[in-house]
A = this chain, B = another copy of it.
Amino acid sequence: MEKILRINMGAGESPTFQVSPLGEFAGLGGRGLTSAVIAAEVPPTCHPLSAENKLVIAPGLLSGTMAAMSGRLSIGCKSPLTGGIKESNAGGQPAQVLARLGYAAVVLEGKPKRDDLFRIIINKDGVKIEVDNSLKGLGNYAAVERMRKEFGDHIVCISIGQAGEMRLTASSIACTDMEGRPARHAGRGGPGAVMGSKCVKMIVLDDTGMSTRQPRDPEKFRAANKIFIEGLRKHAVTGEALPAYGTNVLTNILNEAGGYPTYNFKEGRFAGASKISGETMASLEAARGGMATHGCHRGCVIRCSGIYNDKDGHFVSKQPEYETVWSHGGHCGIDDIDKIARMDFIEDDIGLDTIETGVALGLAMEAGLVKYGDADAAIDLLKEIEKGTPLGRIIGSGAAVTGRVFGLDRVPVVKGQAIPAYDPRAVKGLGVTYATSTMGADHTAGYATATNILKVGGFVDPLKPEGQVELSRNLQIATAAIDSTGMCVFVAFALMDIPETFTALIDMLNSLYGIDLTPDNVVELGQKILKIERDFNAKAGFTKEHDRLPAFFKAQAVPPHNVTFDVPDEELDKVFNF
């Protein structure tokens, strides 16, 4: 995994490619690699949809090995949603397969002058870039199905739906899961629009004939992986809650905590929460022949994903994640889990970030376009996106544009990206992350819910401003490092509570590469990545004034705790004091 594949979509008559050593980027993977390439090669003030932007697709440092949980794929670019740097990562199969094929990164560069749509095929024999205009206008499911018919069911796909083709700024990039479904998405920040601007609809990966990456010290690696897995199985969150109920276990927890944003962040509890909770979902899945415990990629041992069927036992969607259930649920006042699952499928198919889209749907309700709680009307709005109508394009452009076009003044975004499923006033550590993350509002960038609500890694009172900056800072640093390994961020629960699990992770890296990382080096890596990203954003025009929540979170208290966001601005400005 020491080579980088660069595809120049803007080259003369037709695209060209070049495979070269990692060079100056050697030793980097995942988010560390995507952010380094973007920072080094993309002008921070370029238009995100112009030829100057690049799309960097990178497995993590441990991807393609036997390491459990190492299947996250990082996708980086200058974000058309935020205007800043972006790394969005997804589960599914591509990270493992791309790593086994030996690529540390695939970089899409330039922009074709012609109006063709391309597919890229990467296998042991090399790389092919082909025009395939028959893919135009297809949803992810149909596009992937066509590829599987042509190349076989063993292939793995990275693709965009109609939203990406339209270059809508809420568009995602889909990765196929273990069942070959395009259900795992690099959702946040509109990376699908960048892929669409490069006119690449589909990347087909086939690792037939390739083998698992071999560690320098196989024995030490195996032993460390074993300890690592034991830690994950032992921890209550990764060993019990997540496998049993998926991420949607959080609906009841956040609702109970009064931090479940309801009706566009007007309330902190939703009356319909129990109808859409993870517990309800898991029992429906069991009763209907779906699956409540399931992994999204080979090597997953947490298995928080699932398969959601309708009452007749037919596939509806992969089990929707907590944030998806929330953005269409409490945020929109919808308490019908079947319809939420249906929307999850439609958005996966069109290729949309379910957080950004759900929040935009809620804003359409706030604007009076459709009624709060009207799931059928929300589904109709999604069909507008699929068709590319003006209304669909508004919603598909995300929350900030939807709020702007409909003249709203309560628009929950930071750096143009929608705030997800945890009210920053009632989970203040996450509020600090939303405000200051280089990514715009992003719960995964420094998941303070862990310590604020789940009491993992200690406890910091979620309702008080004290201690939140330090909590968010440490989590943001750790997350940037974890996002470089290819590890699912959920391993952090065990890392935070079980010292041996953390040591085992470092041991895996060391035995894989024959290096000698220390825990301090991991912190340094995380800090370095954040600094690279923050420097890019500064050059793109971001200041401390962008490290703020929308003013209404300071002015309007949220029930039931009647709290505002009261972490002082000067404290927010200390997050990156390292």
* A137 within 8 A of partner (CB): no
Given A393-B394, A552-B50, CB of A407 within 8 Å of CB of B168: yes
Instruction: Render A149-174 as a binary contact track against B, CB cut-off 8 A, 1 for contact.
Output: 00000000000000000111100000
* A401 within 8 A of partner (CB): yes
B residues less than 8 Å from A168 (CB atoms): 405, 407
Shortest distance from the beta carbon of A422 to any chain B beta carbon, whole Å: 22
Whether B197 pairs with A407 at a CB distance below 8 angstroms is yes
Whether A407 pairs with B196 at a CB distance below 8 angstroms is yes
Bound-state CA distance A527–B390 (Å) is 44
Given A44-B545, A52-B551, A545-B539, CB of A406 within 8 Å of CB of B393: yes
Which residues of A (363-415) have their CB < 8 Å from a CB of B? 389-391, 393-394, 397, 401, 404-411
Shortest distance from the beta carbon of A190 to any chain B beta carbon, whole Å: 10
Whether A50 pairs with B390 at a CB distance below 8 angstroms is no
Contact with A390, one of B48, B169, B390, B541 (Cβ below 8 angstroms): B390
Bound-state CA distance A393–B545 (Å) is 28
Q: Which of A52, A389, A540, A545 has the most CB of B within 10 A?
A: A545
B residues less than 8 Å from A406 (CB atoms): 393
Count of residues in A whose CB is under 8 Å from the partner chain: 44
* A208 within 8 A of partner (CB): no
Bound-state CA distance A443–B166 (Å) is 33
Whether B409 pairs with A405 at a CB distance below 8 angstroms is no
Show 18 A/B contacts (Cβ-Cβ < 8 Å), sorted by A.
A45-B545, A45-B548, A47-B409, A47-B552, A50-B409, A52-B551, A166-B407, A169-B404, A197-B409, A389-B390, A390-B390, A390-B391, A393-B406, A397-B405, A401-B401, A539-B545, A541-B542, A541-B543
Residues of chain A having any CB pair with chain B under 8 Å: 43-50, 52, 80, 166-169, 193, 196-197, 389-391, 393-394, 397, 401, 404-411, 538-543, 545-546, 548, 550-552
* 7 further A-B pairs in the complex, CB-CB below 8 A; given A48-B409, A52-B551, A401-B401: A45-B548, A47-B410, A49-B407, A50-B409, A50-B552, A196-B407, A541-B543
Q: Which 6 pairs between the two chains have the least Cβ-Cβ distance?
A: A167-B407, A541-B545, A390-B391, A49-B409, A390-B390, A50-B409
